[in-house]
Structures are given as structure tokens and as C-alpha cells.
């Protein structure tokens, strides 16, 4: 059974998105190929756009999974995982039977999820832009340093603890891993800036659901970042960190933007 609750021999039914002009806009804004580096996060964000922009109205049906997979240029498993995550967060509803499928919830979650005023686009740009500058630079610089045995052990231990963290502890240990990378650069000023920025990032992250599949993806990306640092590959460390931050930014903008 898939995330929409239909079996292999149960047809998926989709409601029309709207008039031809509306369909063209939907294809241009939402139902277009996603970036392969963060396929799951981008798919979640695109589906959120469809909901929040009213392209698919409350109670309306999403296109079938197989169609979404083609439009997004991702696997059907990725679409299924994204739909399941948004269903668990209260944005989508799976219905079974002859006319089953995936539908937008009639009553959408109140945003932001933890109260308070949603951040402006300028605030998101500021927080996420600074994070990109600080953390990509930190990863590149850390990979270029000659690390001591203690440095290497500490980084690996932080990675291992983050990967094994419970949902309740994940953001705390995730923050510590990122700050550990900053510490490897040897600049106290950098770590201070990263800590201040991370506090603001976590305030935003606390407003959105912590998606289990995103945690798994983040852990994979953390491993790639750490591996690049430990092998001294500066370009790969920066690239892996950039991809990782892009995934978080996509979800934050999708839920809060």
C-alpha cells in the first residue's frame, strides 16, 4: 500500500487543478523537475507550494503519484515519502478505495506551527544567507587544516552522536556538529558568529515539523561533509555543506516563506 492508501490495482484519481492558464502556472511554479541533490526536500517544498498558493484547494486532489514522479523527475518512492511526511504534518490526507488518492486537508495546520509571527522574506534571506557564508566557508577552511588526532576523533564522535540522536535531541546535537566544524578552523570569532546565527536558525526550525526522512537525509549529508573534511578535500567539503544547507533552506522557505 502506498502513502495515498491505494493498492496496485486501485486507480488513482486526481481533480483538475483549474483552467488551462491555471494549469500552466502550476506546471511553471510547482510541477516541474526538482534538483537531484535534495530531491526529497524539494519535493516536499513543491507540494507545500501547491497547497499554500491555492493551486490545489483544500479538499482537492493532488495528481497521482506516478504523474508527480514524472513531473518532478524523481522516483515514485521520493514522491511517496514526501506525501507521507506532509500527511503526518497535517497538510495532506490519504483516502482509500475506488476514488482514493491524496487530498489537501480541509483544515490546514496553523502557521507558524509554534506560534508567533512568521518571518518576513527579508528575515529569511538574512538568516539563511549569513548561514551559507559562515558554514560553507567553515567547512572549506576546516578541510584545509592539518587536524590533530583529537580534532579528528572529536569530529567523528559528534557525527556519530548526531546520527544516533533521538528526535527530541536531534537539533541540539545537529547544532553541536556544525559548531564543531567551525571550531576546527581555529577562529573563536567565527564560532561566535556561527553560534549566534545557529540560534536564529533553530528559532526558525522550531516552527516547522521535524520530518524523519529529512533527518535521515541530513545524516547522510553530514557524513559526506565530515568525510570531505577528514580527507582534506576542500572543494568537496564546501559542495557537500552547500547541498546540506540548501535542503534546510528549501524546507524553511516552504513552510514559512
Domain CATH number, residue 191: 1.20.120.530
Match 497535517 to its residue by C-alpha cell: 90
Query: pLDDT tens-digit profile of 206-242?
Result: 889 889 999 999 999 999 999 999 999 999 999 999 9
| Number of Cβ within a 10 Å radius of residue 246 | 18
Query: Within this chain, do residues 24 and 66 fall inside the same structural domain, yes or no?
Result: yes
Instruction: Name the residue range of residue 29's domain.
Output: 20-104
Q: What does each C-alpha distance from 145 to 47, 133, 153, 224, 233 come to in angstroms?
A: 41, 19, 15, 17, 10
Nearest partner of 244 among 178, 162, 184, 190, judged by Cα: 178
CATH code where residue 68 lies: 1.10.10.10
- pLDDT tens-digit series, residues 115-127: 567 899 999 999 9
Are 250 and 42 in contact, with CB atoms under 8 Å apart?
yes
Separation between Cα atoms, residue 92 and residue 90, nearest integer Å:
6
Half-sphere exposure in the Cβ direction for 4 (13 Å, CA):
27
Q: Model pTM?
A: 0.77
Query: All 3 cell numbers of residue 97?
Result: 478505495
- Does 78 share its domain with 40? yes
| pLDDT score recorded for residue 27 | 62
pLDDT band at 18 (very low <50, low <70, confident <90, very high): very low
In this structure, the answer to whether residues 149 and 228 fall within a common structural domain is: yes
As a whole number of Å, the end-to-end CA separation of the chain is: 33
What total number of domains does the chain contain? 2
User: Do both 79 and 145 map to the same domain?
Assistant: no
User: Distance of CA 104 to CAs 4, 55, 89, 134, Å?
Assistant: 12, 11, 12, 38
Structural domain contains residue 15? no
In a domain, 114, yes or no: no
Indicate the pairing of strand 101-104 with strand 92-95: antiparallel
C-alpha cell at 220: 547522510
C-alpha cell at 135: 558554514
Mean pLDDT for the chain overall: 86
Residues 222 and 171 in one domain: yes
> Is 14 a member of any domain?
no
In sequence order, the β-bridge partners of residue 101 are: 95
Instruction: Give the model confidence (pLDDT) of 48-99 as tens digits.
Output: 988 887 788 889 899 999 999 999 999 999 999 999 999 999 999 988 877 7
- Which residues face 94 on adjacent strands? 102
Given a contact cutoff of 8 angstroms between Cβ atoms, the answer to whether 103 and 93 are in contact is yes
Percent of the chain surpassing pLDDT 70? 86
Q: Are residues 150 and 96 in the same domain?
A: no
Task: Please identify, among 104, 129, 150, the residue that sits at the C-terminal boundary of a domain.
Answer: 104
Task: Give 144's pLDDT tier (boundaries 50, 70, 90).
Answer: very high
CA distance linking residue 145 with residue 232, whole number of Å: 8
Q: Is residue 71 part of a domain?
A: yes
Amino acid at each position: 500500500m502506498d502513502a495515498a492508501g491505494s493498492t496496485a490495482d486501485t486507480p488513482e484519481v486526481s481533480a483538475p487543478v483549474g483552467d488551462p492558464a491555471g494549469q500552466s502556472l502550476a506546471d511553471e511554479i510547482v510541477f516541474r523537475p526538482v534538483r537531484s541533490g535534495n530531491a526529497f526536500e524539494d519535493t516536499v517544498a513543491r507540494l507545500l507550494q501547491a497547497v499554500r498558493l491555492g493551486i490545489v484547494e483544500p479538499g482537492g486532489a493532488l495528481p497521482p503519484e506516478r504523474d508527480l514522479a514524472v513531473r518532478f523527475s524523481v522516483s515514485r518512492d521520493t514522491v511517496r515519502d514526501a506525501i507521507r511526511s506532509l500527511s503526518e504534518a497535517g497538510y495532506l490526507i490519504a483516502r482509500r478505495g475506488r476514488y482514493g488518492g491524496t487530498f489537501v486537508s480541509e483544515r490546514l495546520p496553523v502557521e507558524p506551527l509554534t506560534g508567533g509571527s512568521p518571518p518576513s522574506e527579508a528575515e529569511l534571506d538574512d538568516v539563511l544567507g549569513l548561514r551559507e557564508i559562515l558554514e560553507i566557508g567553515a567547512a572549506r577552511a576546516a578541510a584545509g587544516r592539518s587536524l590533530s588526532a583529537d580534532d579528528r576523533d572529536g569530529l567523528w564522535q559528534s557525527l556519530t552522536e548526531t546520527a544516533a540522536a533521538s528526535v527530541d535531541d536531534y537539533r541540539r546535537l545537529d547544532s553541536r556538529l556544525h559548531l564543531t566544524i567551525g571550531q576546527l578552523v581555529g577562529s573563536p570569532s567565527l564560532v561566535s558568529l556561527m553560534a549566534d546565527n545557529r540560534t536564529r536558525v533553530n528559532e526558525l526550525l522550531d516552527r516547522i515539523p521535524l520530518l524523519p526522512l529529512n533527518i535521515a537525509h541530513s545524516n547522510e549529508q553530514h557524513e559526506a561533509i565530515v568525510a570531505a573534511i577528514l580527507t582534506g578535500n576542500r572543494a568537496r567539503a564546501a559542495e557537500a555543506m552547500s547541498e546540506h544547507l540548501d535542503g534546510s533552506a528549501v524546507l524553511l522557505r516552504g513552510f514559512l516563506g
